[in-house]
């Protein structure tokens, strides 16, 4: 679960051009506009975007806004809010529940579901670069690649024993759903079928899952302006070994079966400079003349003895603030 509110410190304060009363506070990798008078080293309760705050005295200043969004104030991006904090809780303490904060989820297309997401496959998720500053410093210089982050619905297609299933972020859908039908149309169901089924695509006799983004006319505002739904794969998970394929093995495996993957944007050495990473996230989509949602960054080579990343996987996202502003979330 994402910590939406936590105790943090102001790392740095910088002036905002032509503004007398406000300045920019740097908290973890985030930047947030605060009234003047705060100091570097001050503890705050930092509340991230997407937080739904309760309607009470503490949050009266939000004037009933549904959830916290990215804002542009005097030409600078302001992410989340920083409440003054004078308590004893150590930096990092999760305050989400104590404050009664919940997460805003954009409305989803309803699907008929037939069961829970399987427990033997990790759910798709990506941590934000701004939440892992120390890890970025630790792995600075590592050769990485960035793929385009597509704003659709998470999709997992797996086989286990004799069963082939298609799942959204949280549930398994039935074979009449749009997601299942799209997987079928793209040959992904066939791809996962067993060797002994007599199917020529089925060369593999181990259990695995393909994970990708389902995009199309009815998904998340169809920001790619597609006329047909489509699934773009970003991960392959080996259910028997309980581990993800690294980049090379995935490319070979999917490439040899003509499976569509999320577009690769570029390769570079990892930096811990958040502004530089955000600059990389800004840009147009590979699909056309409109801003992309962001990028997902992963190492080119697997890293020995990796620690610290959620789910023990070196992978994180950088959202394009221009996209976020435009989408209004
Ligand atoms: P948050 O964790 O910030 O609250 P969230 O969990 O709702 O947000 P997203 O912001 O959509 O999720 O980011 C993670 C998701 O991005 C993944 O679960 C996956 O479905 C999707 N995704 C889209 N494109 C890619 C890509 N190229 N690589 C990896 N994941 C991708
Ligand atoms: Mn998440
Ligand atoms: Mn998403």
Counting ligand 1 atoms within 8 A of each CB, the residue from 117, 149, 233, 260 with the most, and so the one to mutate, is: 149
Q: What is the pTM of this model?
A: 0.93
Closest residue by Cα to atom 17, ligand 1, is 125
Counting ligands in written order, the one closest to the CA of 170 is 1
Round to whole Å and give the CA distance between 80 and 183. Answer: 37
Confidence label for 256 from pLDDT (cuts 50, 70 and 90)? confident
Counting ligands in written order, the one closest to the CA of 234 is 1
Q: Mind listing the pLDDT tens digit for each residue in 78-124?
A: 999 999 999 999 999 999 999 999 999 988 777 789 999 999 999 99
Confidence label for 203 from pLDDT (cuts 50, 70 and 90)? low
Q: Mind listing the pLDDT tens digit for each residue in 63-87?
A: 988 899 999 999 999 999 999 999 9
pLDDT at 185 over 90: yes
Q: Is 256 exposed, middle or buried (0-12, 13-18, 19+ CB in 10 A)?
A: exposed
For residue 154 and ligand 1, the question of a CB distance below 6 A is answered with yes
Residues with CB under 5 A from ligand 2 (ion): 125
Q: Which residues pair with residue 44 across a beta bridge?
A: 8, 84
Q: Which residue segments constitute the domains of the chain, with CATH numbers given?
A: 5-103 (2.40.50), 113-327 (3.30.470.30)
Counting ligands in written order, the one closest to the CA of 315 is 1
pLDDT at 196 over 70: no
The CA 1 to ligand 2 mean position distance, Å, reads 7
| Joined tokens for residue 41 | 């080293």
Contact status, residue 4 vs residue 50, Cβ threshold 8 Å: yes
CA nearest 43: which of 1, 96, 2, 93?
Answer: 93
For residue 278 and ligand 1, the question of a CB distance below 6 A is answered with no
Round to whole Å and give the CA distance between 77 and 324. Answer: 11
Confidence label for 204 from pLDDT (cuts 50, 70 and 90)? low
Contact status, residue 85 vs residue 44, Cβ threshold 8 Å: yes
């Amino acid at each position: 679960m994402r910590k939406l509110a936590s105790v943090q410190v102001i790392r740095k304060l910088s002036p905002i051009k032509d503004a007398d009363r406000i300045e920019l506070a740097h908290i973890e990798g985030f930047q947030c506009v605060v009234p003047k008078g705060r100091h570097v080293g001050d503890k705050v309760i930092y509340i991230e975007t997407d937080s739904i705050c309760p309607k009470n005295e503490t949050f009266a200043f939000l004037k009933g806004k549904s959830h916290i969004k990215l804002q542009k104030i005097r030409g600078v991006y302001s992410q989340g809010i920083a409440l003054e904090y004078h308590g004893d809780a150590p930096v990092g303490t999760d305050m989400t529940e104590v404050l009664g904060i919940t997460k805003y989820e954009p409305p989803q297309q309803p699907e008929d579901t037939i069961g829970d997401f399987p427990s033997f496959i990790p759910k798709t998720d990506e941590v934000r670069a701004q939440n892992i500053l120390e890890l970025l410093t630790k792995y600075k210089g590592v050769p990485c690649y960035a793929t385009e982050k597509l704003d659709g619905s998470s999709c997992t297609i797996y086989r286990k024993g004799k069963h082939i299933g298609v799942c959204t972020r949280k549930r398994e859908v039935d074979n009449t759903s749009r997601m299942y039908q799209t997987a079928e149309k793209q040959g992904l169901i066939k791809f996962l079928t067993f060797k002994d089924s007599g199917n020529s695509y089925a060369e593999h006799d181990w259990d695995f899952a393909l994970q990708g983004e389902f995009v199309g006319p009815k998904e998340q505002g169809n920001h790619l302006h597609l006329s047909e739904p489509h699934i773009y794969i970003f991960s392959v998970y080996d259910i028997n070994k309980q581990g993800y394929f690294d980049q090379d093995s995935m490319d070979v495996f999917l490439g040899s079966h003509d499976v569509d993957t999320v577009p690769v944007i570029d390769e570079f050495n990892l930096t811990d400079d958040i502004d530089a990473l955000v600059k990389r996230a800004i840009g147009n989509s590979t699909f056309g003349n409109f801003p992309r949602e962001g990028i997902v960054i992963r190492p080119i080579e697997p890293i020995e003895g990796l620690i610290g990343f959620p789910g023990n996987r070196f992978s994180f996202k950088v959202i394009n603030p221009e996209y976020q502003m435009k989408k209004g979330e």
